[in-house]
Amino acid sequence: MDKLPWLGASVKRKEDDRLLRGSGRFLDDVEETLALHLAIGRCPYPHARIRRIDAARALELSGVETVLIGEQVVARTEPITVLRPFPGSAPTVFHGMAHGVARYEGEPVVAVAAVDRYVAEDALELIDVDYEPLPHVITVEDALRPGAPQLHATVPGNVVVESTVRAGEPDKRLADAAVTVDGTFRINRVSGAPIETRGVIARWAEDTSTLELWASTQTPHLLRAQLAHCLRMDETDVRVIAPDVGGAFGLKIGVYPEDIIAALLAIDTRRPVKWIEDRTEFFRGAAHAREAVHALTIGADRDGALLVLRDRYLIDLGAYHGPLGPPLLTSIMLAGPYRLHDAEIHRRVVLTNKVPMGAYRGYGQAESNYVREVLVDRLARRLGQDPADFRRRNLLRPDELPFKNVSGATYDSGDYARGLERALSRVGYETFRTRQKAWRQQGRHVGVGMSCYVEFTGYPSSAFLGRTGARFGAYESVTLRMDRAGRAALSTGVSTFGQGTETTFAQMAASLLGLDPVDVAIHRGDSQGTPYSVGGFASRTMIAGAGAIEKAAGQIRDKMLRIAGHILDVDPAALEATAGMIRRRDDPSVQVSIQRVSEAAFLGHPLPPGEDPGLEATAYFDPPSSAFGYGTVVAQVEVDARSGEFALQRYILVHDCGTQVNPMIVEGQVQGAVAQGIAAALFEELVYDRETGQLVNGTMVDYFMPTAADLPAFELDHLETPSPVTPFGIKGVGEGGTIAAAAAITNAVCDALAPFGVDLDRLPVTAESIWRALAGARAKG
């Protein structure tokens, strides 16, 4: 195929005009007349038996329509399914509302539908819930102790699943290794924290006897599937519509208890039921992410060849499986971009009385990158090698790809060392060590840290997902239709949550149909009128979507050429579609407009004999392989060795996401992901009090998200190695920026403080944690 005209162009985003004018329509902007408003009573304890609920006084309050309690929900619904369970997991029965026992602070216990939110909240105050607090566990270590409170009868010992991945001969390599280092690392519990909270409007459509659910979701079709299952309905009788979504980041995948509650109340009352999450609820109801404890060992031979990796880690799942399930990519990507054949990875997914874990941008990959890259630096130091040299030696070379890593993932393409070198030269690494020495003599502690990653994007086929127990496919789909004016309408089940899909999909379709992107209208996010779709997550939409668009547009283009050939009396094989016209390749003056061809298809005349009217195609594309992006972060910090305070002076990321469909959108995705990566590395942590089991900092004031004043300018550089295994060589890009942040900054701080022998092993990295590490190192002498 000729080069696609709009592929690689920084086309202005289609979404921007409406969003800038305040005309974007988010969940709270969806107008529903006569809606009831929902308020949800939540368990104030981390773990409690619900002995009795008395709602009599609430029901007497004027304006209250109805009250729903857990007993009813449990009787009328199925538990929430898990979209991507860890293979072999024991079930944690998670309903739309707690009945009998509530297992985390914030779990829904009772709900009120009333004429407005104020009345509904007042009514909650009138409901008597008799709780019997039960012993709770807040840390994974506590949850594993003999005699620890048990969260679920189905999960003995609070371990949902325990399994091991083994490759090669890890024990032998450990014994052989000249040098081994180990470390225990704690990864903080954080939240994706989109600026738009969750929200839902449920409506029973009397005319069609169907349920309509407007939801702030990144997966309309998967939400529909899960919701229908919970409600014991057929999917066909449920319609899910995602309006503009105000940020998602993995947190808005799948069905949540509130969706089920709103749906039941809409069915009962025959009125629309609306719920907008407030921020207090958000921190206690929307998925938390990342928290894990890793005990990692790596070893190398005397020359510094990486020989072996052994990890034993605990994932803190919270109180239930959320709708998606815990991350699988932690294990899959632990080996990173290195030549490593021998490993043992042992993982346990553990229950605690906290909000259920969900996905967050870089799911699993940010976790494994952090522990591995920090320990790689320690290993290099132990070997007396420069951390850059150690990585140079062990990074996979382009001629070693494709390479199957110890967990079975096959890296497709890339030049990992080139990314490292580019980032190092940007920071002036050649001369940095000399400068660093000079600064040290002046009492200044400046350090550079690096972190290399390879990133799993997209899924390697629906069959792969099926084999590993997932309840969704790897595909994406579109319906494309030409209208009589010669414009295209593209329908996709993917919703719009900031990723720019409306623009990039239009670019692809326009390129393949010979149109301008402005002539491609996008209909998105509505399960009705779009083909089955998986949705926007796992950096997969562009890869799978581009394949679907290629197929659908190809069918339409071929038909347009046949019709044009008929009109022009030319062999269709001699024609091409470009710039709104169908014309002869060798004589562009012989041409007919796409508008006229579309009109012929619409009128059914003039068409070649036997040709059906219409210009419309639906296509699915199931990617056969994942594509692997990669990159290196180099961070520079200066640390005050007395107070632990530090400044992040430079932040350099060189990355490769294959073919870029729209470089401006890629830049935005990377910028945003880097900001979130640094945020989780330096600022954010959801803290639970071990004694009371309460979330200590569940407000925007106490959960320190960075502002424009808190982050440095990032220095980004792109390499472009088209993937050999995906349509147009596209690799996913939405998540990569988060992955390497924590390790690069940790390594930079440890490098700055190398004379003190400081090791850091927990996130976030704060002045206090550095100060403590310094004090510890001094005490050790």
Q: How far is the C-alpha of 504 from the C-alpha of 512, rounded, in Å?
A: 13
Residue closer to ligand FES, measured from CB, 91 or 247: 247
Interface with another protein includes 429 (CB under 8 A)?
no
Two tokens, residue 560: 């347009």
Interaction of residue 78 with another protein, rule CB under 8 A: no
Per-residue binding string, another protein, 478-497, x by CB under 8 A, is: ------------------xx
Residue 498 makes contact with ligand FES by CB under 6 A: yes
CA distance 261 to 152: 22
> Is residue 34 part of the contact set for another protein (CB under 8 A)?
no
Site of tokens 């990723």:
499
Stretch that binds another protein, among 22-30, 144-152, 160-168, 750-758 (CB under 8 A): 22-30
Contact residue for another protein among 91, 624, 668, 722 (CB under 8 A): 668
Which does residue 434 bind out of another protein, ligand FES, none, counting CB within 5 to 8 angstroms by kind? none
Judged by CB, which is closer to ligand FES: 79, or 247? 247
The token duo for 748 is 């930079």
Q: Are 648 and 635 in contact (CB under 8 A)?
A: yes
Question: d(Cα 453, Cα 455) in Å, to the nearest integer?
Answer: 6
Per rule CB under 8 A, is residue 713 in the interface with another protein?
yes
User: For residue 776, what is the enclosing H or E element?
Assistant: helix 767-780
- DSSP letter at 763 equals S
Cβ proximity to another protein, 521 vs 700, nearer residue: 700
Best CA proximity match to 296, nearest among 385, 394, 215, 187 = 187
522 scored as a contact of another protein (CB under 8 A): no
410, 618, 671, 692: residue in contact with another protein (rule CB under 8 A): 671
Q: Which of 451, 411, 410, 446 is nearest to 431 (CA)?
A: 446
CB 129 within 8 A of CB 50: yes
Q: Count CB atoms within 10 A of the CB of residue 295.
A: 15
> What span, in angstroms and rounded, lies between the C-alpha atoms of 411 and 392?
18
Cis previous bond, 402, omega within 30: yes
In angstroms, what is the minimal distance from the CB of 741 to ligand FES?
19
| Residue 665 in the binding site for another protein (CB under 8 A) | yes
Using CB under 6 A as the binding rule, whether residue 713 contacts ligand FES is answered as no
Q: Are 269 and 335 in contact (CB under 8 A)?
A: no
Q: With respect to ligand FES, which residue has the nearer C-beta, 17 or 689?
A: 17
Site string for ligand FES, 244-283 (x = CB under 6 A): ---x------------------------------------
Sheet of 627-639: strand order equals 445-457, 627-639, 646-656, 715-719
Q: Are 255 and 322 in contact (CB under 8 A)?
A: no
Please, which residue, 116 or 640, has the CB nearer to another protein?
116
Instruction: Name which of 499 and 625 has its Cβ closer to another protein.
Output: 499
Rounded Cα–Cα distance for residues 778 and 381 (Å): 19
CB of 388 to ligand FES, least distance (A): 35
Is the CB of residue 627 less than 8 Å from the CB of residue 457?
Answer: yes
Name which of 15 and 258 has its Cβ closer to ligand FES: 15
Q: Quote the CA–CA distance of 596 and 602 in Å, as a whole number.
A: 10
Q: Which two tokens stand for residue 12?
A: 């202005």
Token representation of residue 510: 């326009």
* Contact characters 170-209, another protein, x per CB under 8 A: ----------------------xxxxxx------------
Does 21 interact with another protein (rule: CB under 8 A)? yes
Shortest distance in whole angstroms from residue 31 CB to ligand FES: 20
Instruction: Name the residue with tokens 């002036």.
Output: 428
Residue 645 interacts with which of another protein, ligand FES, none, CB < 5 to 8 Å by class: none
| Shortest reach from residue 500's CB to ligand FES, in Å | 11
Q: How many CB atoms lie within 10 A of CB 24?
A: 17
CB burial of residue 141 (10 Å; 0-12, 13-18, 19+)? middle
Q: Phi-psi bin for 396: left (phi > 0), alpha (psi -120 to 50), beta? A: beta
244, 476, 685, 751: which one binds another protein (CB under 8 A)? 244
Which does residue 747 touch among ligand FES, another protein, none (CB within 5 to 8 A, set by kind)? none
Among 26, 429, 602, 771, binds another protein (CB under 8 A): 26
Closest approach, Cβ 17 to another protein, in A, equals 7
**Is 195 near ligand FES (CB under 6 A)?**
yes
With CB under 8 A as the rule, give the number of residues binding another protein. Answer: 62
**Residue (223 or 251) nearer to another protein, CB:** 251
**Shortest CB 456 distance to another protein, Å:** 22
Give the residue, chosen from 57, 60, 71, 118, that forms a contact with another protein under the rule CB under 8 A.
Answer: 118
Out of 8, 157, 247, 608, name the contact with another protein by CB under 8 A.
247
Q: What is the amino acid identity at position 474?
A: A
| Beta bridge partner(s), residue 41 | 110
How far is residue 479's CA from residue 476's CA, in Å, rounded to a whole number?
11
Q: Which chain residues interact with another protein by CB under 8 A? A: 10, 12-13, 15-26, 28-29, 118, 192-197, 244-249, 276, 278-279, 496-500, 650, 664-665, 667-668, 671-676, 699-701, 705-711, 713-715
Residues near ligand FES (CB under 6 A): 195, 247, 498
